[in-house]
Amino acid sequence: VVIGRSNAANPKGAQVLGKETASASLASTGARLLFVSVPRDRCVWPPLADTRHDELLRLGKFAEWVSARCAPRPVYFMLPGIAGKGTASMLSAATCAWPLYIEVCHDVVVLESERWQKSPWARLDALLAVWARKPLYVLPEKYSPPVELPDAAAAAAPAAAGARPEDAAKDSPLSFKPEEPFTIARPVD
């Protein structure tokens, strides 16, 4: 998928992702749900069509890697701009329920940028992730997916008693070491 805007005859990026948007009722049981914190001025913002090109590219690279890492377990992403829709009162209600959205997710991913540091709503996402005791990961601006050796994840994650090693790897954290390119720094520093 090429990320960016185009005319209706040649749909790209945000238009294609808009077709992939699914209702929470359609998510499969046992799926991994990742909340993606993007810089924004309002709680339920920006709409998918207004999301920045560089952020969509970075999120696309990450989505490909995390989907392969967690396969066969399905992975879904919750973006603030598509968490709620409707009238102003509906969006206000979604804002009031924001801690509950964070609580439902398994992990919180921060799309790091200079704009993220200045966004109060994005910084609140990190605070709520700590409050909800969710793993908080930083996706740096120059993100490149880590290279994983075959069977390396199974060796790195200790298996539970009676569980298969490949199943333990699917439930494991997305990173194990702070030197990995995915976990550069904590956003609250």
Question: Does the pTM exceed 0.95?
Answer: no
Helix or strand or coil: residue 34? Answer: strand
Amino acid at 72: P
d(CA 92, CA 45): 12
Tokens 């390396």 label which residue?
Answer: 152
Query: Could you read off the pLDDT of 82-97 as tens digits, one per residue?
Result: 888 888 888 888 899 9
Single out the residue of 64, 22, 33 nearest to residue 135, CA to CA: 33
Single out the residue of 150, 149, 157, 155 nearest to residue 174, CA to CA: 157
User: Comparing 34-43, 140-149, 172-181, which segment has the lowest mean pLDDT?
Assistant: 172-181
Cβ burial of 128 (10 Å; 0-12, 13-18, 19+) is buried
* Predicted local confidence at residue 17, as pLDDT: 64
Query: Could you read off the pLDDT of 146-163 as tens digits, one per residue?
Result: 776 666 555 554 544 555
Tokens 């968490």 label which residue?
Answer: 83
User: Comparing 54-68, 105-119, 144-158, 171-185, which segment has the lowest mean pLDDT?
Assistant: 171-185
